[in-house]
Chains A and B, each alone.
Chain A
Amino acid sequence: MNKTWNNKAWFMVLPVLFLVAISAIIPLMTVVNYSVQDTFGNNEFFWAGAEWFEEMLTSDRFWAAMGRNLLFSGIVLLIEIPLGILIALNMPKSGWGVPVCLVLMALPLLIPWNVVGTIWQVFGRVDIGLLGYALREVGVDYNYVSDPFDAWVTVIVMDVWHWTSLVVLLCYAGLVSIPDAYYQAAKIDGASRWAVFRYIQLPKMNRVLLIAVLLRFMDSFMIYTEPFVVTGGGPGNSTTFLSIDLVKMAVGQFDIGPAAAMSIIYFLIILLLSWVFYTVMTNYDAASDGERRDG
């Protein structure tokens, strides 16, 4: 759409600017403030410079949490994206099955995050949970409270349960926008099922898939509530992801300086990812606009 240049439009943006500035810029400034200062209580602060940043960037604890988080995000993406595509490809295209599938699949997305944690905490318990009980009956020695591997499996299955539907819904939205003519042409050319997927469906899902990957990566990178409720970061530190570690440090141990430095590093990574997301979005928007104008 051709937009007219009008700087008065700023007045319409002012309320948003004001509101988000209160809840974003002021807290962020506080964090920056803490990250370069040290305190011994009594509200006395001393300049610490880059000390906390150095401490953070050289601490094993930070890199361990970062490593765990990246591993978690990686596994979750590797499972959720292919699974989401597979389910979306097999969803009904018309009839009563469509709304039923959409509604049932979207349900986990609307459950408060700590309730998701509670559901899985209960579901996985060996004494009262269906999953833990069933696994015990089959003969698997499963206990997410004491075994790090079981804790990881539980947290990952929980995330797959919680968020795969998002990938499914996004892919489905991409699939239904493919005109029938494409399938007809493929049919005439005698294209195989795989060729239809590879050369028609996948390119058309390109954009939504990219959104799905970015959203899932960012959300899994900030995950806090669900694993915290289920495992509390344990056993030991085995499921302590970045956000959990940050809250532990800031609220639990009140190490405000290092926590603030960590927040800033964390935020910069998110900023970089958001920039990728934004570039992707605007490039695609521009491309599709051009397509519309040409066509």
Chain B
Amino acid sequence: MADLTARDSFAGTAAASSASDDATMRRMRRRGGASRLGWLIPTLYILFLMLPIYWLVNMSFKTNAEILGPITFLPAEPTLRNYAVIFTDPSWYKGYINSIIYVVMNTVISVAVALPAAYAFSRYRFLGDKHLFFWLLTNRMAPPAVFALPFFQLYSAFGLIDTHIAVALAHCLFNVPLAVWILEGFMSGVPKEIDETAYIDGYSFPRFFVKIFMPLIASGIGVAAFFCFMFSWVELLIARTLTTTDAKPIAAIMTRTVSASGLDWGVLAAAGVLTIIPGALVIWFVRNYIAKGFALGRV
């Protein structure tokens, strides 16, 4: 129909013909782009992803008697006891506070030191820049298992074992390189002319950086901060090695409960659900950047 009108009205404007192109495009996409049952594949995949999570949430609202009894697909007598245990017992909820403290410390440190470095990498060439950039990457890729024991000895030497700052600094090993790489990716997208114009206008470097440059890469800073937060939040091996009681992360407290003799499955499930929530809360804001963050800003 659109084709017809475009052809008939001899003075068919550019607008009309592009509209018809769009229509063809849409039709074509529907036919050629994905098969009719294409939606089925992502749906099945999401179902597969949600099933174990559903089971965990399901368990967290059950009593232990029900968990250990015959399988039920919904809690027969929903209970909040498991969550109540966590929120009233300091040895449980302190774990969350500890995790959040060191994760936030790490995020702030990582982004703060990464900002100037990323700017240097994106704007200047200097002696050894490529080697340095590569060396940073190797730290992001380094297996935590290699570093667990030396970290323990290093931080014991400084008397920092079981402090939040020790974990925050240790996680800088992989988070600082990550932040530098992500920020460098975003900064390289800002044209250099902006810097030059600002200098001509008489801005000093710090003022330019804070007033003009940082707002331009605000989304990049957000993404870098999110990924530092996330990787520090999900890491356990190093965090567990460096802490004993006062700064023990929630994830480590959970494993301790598993290995204890009296298994409290309900509380374990509730604790697991609570560790998923921070990620689930912020995921909406970074949904378009997740691939970029995991690929070190290189997509």
Contact = CB atoms under 8 A, between A and B. Distances in A.
B137 A9 contact: no
Nearest to B141: A274
A103 B126 contact: no
Interface in B183-230: 188, 192, 230
A274 B117 contact: no
A172 B41 CA distance: 14
A196 interface: yes
Interface in A164-205: 164-166, 168-170, 172-174, 180, 183-184, 186-187, 193, 196
B43 to A, nearest CB: 9
A155 to B, nearest CB: 14
A238 interface: no
Given A13-B117, A270-B142, 20 more contacts: A5-B124, A12-B116, A19-B176, A20-B173, A23-B173, A26-B154, A28-B150, A89-B34, A107-B49, A110-B234, A115-B251, A115-B275, A119-B56, A122-B265, A224-B144, A229-B258, A247-B237, A267-B146, A274-B137, A275-B134
A19 B287 contact: no
Contact of A6 (B125, B137, B280): B125
Nearest to B114: A16
A53 to B, nearest CB: 15
A111 B276 contact: yes
A227 to B, nearest CB: 12
A173 B299 contact: yes
B16 to A, nearest CB: 17
B5 interface: no
18 contacts: A8-B126, A9-B120, A13-B116, A15-B117, A31-B149, A103-B287, A104-B46, A107-B283, A112-B236, A118-B268, A122-B268, A169-B290, A169-B294, A172-B291, A222-B143, A224-B143, A270-B143, A281-B298
A232 to B, nearest CB: 9
Contacts of A70: none
A215 B42 contact: no
Contacts of A13: 116-117, 120-121, 126, 132
Interface in A150-165: 161, 164-165
Interface string B15-58: 00000010011001100111100111110011011111101100
A173 B42 contact: no
Given A4-B123, A114-B251, A183 B265 contact: no
Nearest to A129: B55
Contacts of A267: 142-143, 146
Contacts, number: 307
Contacts of B269: 122
A118 B258 CA distance: 9
Contact of A27 (B150, B230, B275): B150
A170 B125 contact: no
A236 B119 CA distance: 50
B250 to A, nearest CB: 8
B295 A27 contact: no
Contacts of A123: 51-52, 55-56
A17 to B, nearest CB: 7
A90 interface: yes
Contacts of A115: 251, 254, 272, 275-276
B120 A87 contact: no
A211 B299 contact: yes
